[in-house]
């Protein structure tokens, strides 16, 4: 869908739960033709929707024929109101939004003005399942924590898969079940602020709040709007549900039962805590971190949260260590790439905001040569100047935000620009000393140079493999 040039005001947040969307016979429009939108459109048709219009400002026109054979009308075109006309809106019963579609867009506002229910893909799919949901949100660590929860539940005999913002969209998972893929016992969902903006009744059995920091300020008018969107994960929870919350970041969890986890129990007491080298539940050692492949303080937080969520659902933490002992974190998340001349190269391309960059800097004690930069998301990198000066020997800056990084940090330590990731790796090696950690943690998104953080991380891996020792 076309984005307006100026940042719009946020759409009003629903505060009450509407009647359940009745799919059989409904006439629906799905806005956004990405993976989530396609899955929602297909699920709606399979569940008996009378008509489904899949609309986007751009899309793969080669799919139109196959979509038409499934009874889905695809419309990939631009227009003054997006891809839908007034006549289209008048013929609809509801509108489903893909996560990438901003509810503040004029087209969505026009649909709401017609009295149409506006549901996100997450809300729509959740209304079609009767299974309990574990929902994981936070600025950073969602994917790792989601995968850890799946590991813990699977080890206890529960059938589940990572889904939502990571893995399969929930609509696609439900389609797979319809097609004979097997019925999950629990839905373990990574949920983003974009997905939570358009919920009306979404109620997790367990909701996990990992952390909160500045991000997505190119979508939200301010930090508080972003925080409120994420906090909606608790909005419809009841006293029999459990909110697992980072004790260092108190957040109102509504009516849900509260369970806290804490990396620093002396500062923030909690049920699940860290006492090196163990994760503890009520001061009893339960998981030895050095028996796992997880490293870094941020991953201790992720594992504490996962264990607390699994315990809330299972009622027992027996066997948790054996469940995660062989877990390999997802790629591009603080992963070791190579050792060259006594320097460790770490790929943390998934560090797409300041909080993730901060976590990466604090993950080890070695001096750092930092490679940072990418798309300018209007984040305030000067907020990390003291930490960067304390932890880093030098900085190599890449991408669109390079001038701002140099302005923020060069008065405090040596900083230099690089033309691309390959040049940055060479320059970082030259600026380092034996024992250093050369850390690729951009601190912002990749879309100025790459299709996503994974492509950026692969470019860094490839660049490191091409390096030659300098001694």
Contact 174, 43 (CB under 8 A): yes
Strand 272-275 to strand 187-190: parallel, antiparallel, or no bridges (unpaired)? Answer: unpaired
Q: What is the pLDDT of residues 94-123, one digit of tens each?
A: 999 999 888 888 889 889 999 999 999 999
pLDDT(340) > 50: yes
For the cut 90, the answer to whether the pLDDT of residue 59 exceeds it is no
Q: What is the pLDDT of residue 294?
A: 87
In the predicted model, is pLDDT for residue 467 greater than 60?
A: yes
Q: What is the pLDDT of residue 77?
A: 66
CATH topology of domain 27-116: Rossmann fold (3.40.50)
Q: Is the pLDDT of residue 331 over 50?
A: yes
Structure-model confidence comparison of residues 449 and 5, the more confident one: 449
Give 56's pLDDT tier (boundaries 50, 70, 90). confident
Confidence at residue 103, expressed as pLDDT on a 0 to 100 scale:
86
- Do domains 27-116 and 335-465 share one topology? The answer is no
* pLDDT(63) > 80: no
**What confidence score (pLDDT) does residue 216 get?**
66
Rounded distance between C-alpha atoms, residue 64 and residue 175, angstroms: 20
Q: What angle do CA 224, 209, 39 make, to 5 degrees?
A: 90
> 335-465: what fold?
3.90.190
pLDDT of 471 reads: 57
Q: Which of 391, 369, 344, 377 is nearest to 446 (CA)?
A: 377
Give me the pLDDT at residue 171, please: 97
SS3 track for the chain = CCCCCCCCCCCCCCCCCCCCCCCCCCEEEEECCCHHHHHHHHHHHHCCCCEEEEEECCCCHHHHHHHHHCCEEEEECCCEEEECCHHHHHCCCEEEECCCCCCCCHHHHHHHHCCCCEEEHHHHHHCCCCCCEEEEECCCCHHHHHHHHHHHHHHCCCCCCEEECCCECHHHHHHHHHCCCCCCCCEEEECCHHHHCCCCCCCCCEEEECCCCCCCCCCCCCHHHHHHHHHHHHCCCCCCCEEEEECCCCCCCCCCEEEEEECCCCCCCCCEEEECCEEEECCEEEEEHHHCCCCCHHHHHHHHHHHHHHHHHHCCCCCHHHHHCCCCCCCCCCEEEEEECCEEEEECCCCCCHHHHHHHHHCCCCCEEEEECCCCCCCCHHHHHHHHHHHEEEEEECCCCHHHHHHHHCCCCCEEECCCHHHHHHHHHHHCCCCCEEEECCCCCCCCCCCCHHHHHHHHHHHHHCCCCCC
| Distance, first Cα to last Cα, the chain | 53
Residue 20 binned pLDDT confidence (cut-offs 50, 70, 90): low
| pTM assigned to the model | 0.79
**Lowest model confidence (mean pLDDT) among 69-78, 134-143, 199-208:** 69-78
For the cut 50, the answer to whether the pLDDT of residue 273 exceeds it is yes
The predicted pLDDT at position 389 comes to 96
Of 167, 211, 172, 202, nearest in space to 188 by CA: 167
- Confidence at residue 11, expressed as pLDDT on a 0 to 100 scale: 40
State the architecture of 128-324 in CATH terms: 3-Layer(aba) Sandwich (3.40)
Q: Which pairing describes strands 133-137 and 187-190: parallel, antiparallel, or unpaired?
A: parallel
Mean pLDDT for the stretch of residues 194-216: 90
pLDDT at 3 over 50: no
What value does the mean pLDDT take over residues 38-63? 88
Per-residue pLDDT of 351-395, as tens digits, reads 998 988 998 998 888 999 999 999 998 888 999 999 999 999 999
Could you state, in order of their start, the residue ranges of all structural domains in the chain?
27-116, 128-324, 335-465
pLDDT band at 57 (very low <50, low <70, confident <90, very high): confident
Rounded to the nearest 10 degrees, the angle between the axes of helix 35-46 and helix 170-178 is: 40
The CA angle 97-47-24, to the nearest 5 degrees, is 90
The per-residue pLDDT of the chain, averaged, comes to 89
- Which range among 38-42, 148-152, 335-339 shows the weakest confidence by mean pLDDT? 335-339
Q: Please tell me the predicted confidence (pLDDT) of residue 395.
A: 98
16 pLDDT band, cuts 50/70/90, is: very low
| pLDDT value for 413 | 97
Q: Which residues pair with 190 in a beta bridge?
A: 136, 164
* Percentage of the residues of the chain whose pLDDT score is greater than 70: 92
325: confidence class by pLDDT, cuts 50, 70, 90? very high
User: Of 381, 384, 368, 376, nearest to 432 (Cα)?
Assistant: 368
* pLDDT bracket for residue 72 (50, 70, 90): very high
């Amino acid at each position: 869908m076309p984005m307006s040039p100026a940042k719009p005001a946020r759409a009003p947040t629903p505060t009450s739960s509407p009647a359940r969307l009745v799919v059989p016979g409904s006439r629906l429009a799905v806005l956004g033709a990405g993976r989530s939108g396609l899955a929602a459109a297909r699920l709606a048709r399979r569940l008996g929707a009378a008509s489904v219009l899949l609309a986007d400002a751009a899309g793969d026109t080669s799919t139109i024929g196959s979509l038409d054979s499934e009874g889905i009308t695809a419309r990939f075109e631009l227009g003054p109101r997006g891809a839908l006309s007034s006549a289209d809106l008048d013929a609809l019963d509801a509108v489903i939004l893909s996560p990438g579609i901003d509810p503040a867009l004029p087209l969505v506002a026009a649909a709401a003005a017609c009295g149409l229910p506006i549901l996100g893909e997450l809300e729509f799919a959740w209304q079609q399942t009767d299974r309990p949901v574990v929902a994981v949100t936070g600025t950073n660590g969602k994917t790792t924590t989601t995968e850890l929860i799946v590991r813990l539940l699977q080890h206890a005999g529960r059938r589940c898969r990572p889904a939502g913002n990571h893995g399969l969209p929930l609509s696609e998972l439900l389609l797979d079940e319809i097609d004979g893929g097997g019925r999950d016992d629990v839905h373990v969902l990574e949920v983003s602020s974009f997905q939570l903006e358009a919920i009306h009744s979404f109620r997790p059995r367990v909701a996990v709040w990992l952390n909160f920091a500045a991000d997505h300020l190119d979508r939200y008018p301010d930090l508080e709007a972003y925080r409120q969107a994420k906090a909606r994960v608790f909005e419809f929870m009841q006293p029999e549900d459990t909110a697992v919350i980072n004790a260092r970041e108190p957040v109102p969890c509504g009516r849900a039962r509260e369970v806290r986890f804490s990396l620093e129990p002396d500062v923030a007491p909690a049920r699940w805590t860290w006492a090196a080298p163990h994760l503890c539940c009520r001061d009893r050692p339960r998981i030895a971190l050095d028996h796992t492949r997880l490293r870094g303080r941020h991953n201790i937080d992720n594992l504490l949260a996962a264990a607390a969520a699994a315990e809330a659902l299972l009622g027992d933490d027996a066997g948790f260590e054996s469940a995660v002992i062989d877990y390999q974190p997802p790629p591009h998340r603080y992963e070791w790439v190579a050792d060259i001349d006594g320097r460790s190269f770490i790929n943390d391309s998934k560090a797409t905001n300041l909080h993730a960059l901060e976590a990466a800097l604090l993950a080890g004690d070695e001096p750092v040569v930092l490679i940072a930069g990418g798309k300018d998301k209007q984040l305030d990198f000067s907020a990390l100047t003291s930490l960067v000066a304390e932890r880093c020997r030098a900085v190599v800056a890449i991408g669109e935000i390079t001038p701002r990084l140099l302005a923020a940090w060069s008065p405090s330590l040596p900083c230099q620009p690089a033309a691309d990731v390959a040049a940055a790796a060479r320059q970082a090696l030259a600026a380092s000393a034996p024992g250093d950690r050369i850390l690729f943690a951009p601190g912002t998104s990749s879309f100025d140079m790459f299709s996503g953080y994974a492509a950026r991380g692969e470019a860094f891996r490839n660049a490191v493999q091409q390096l030659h020792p300098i001694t």
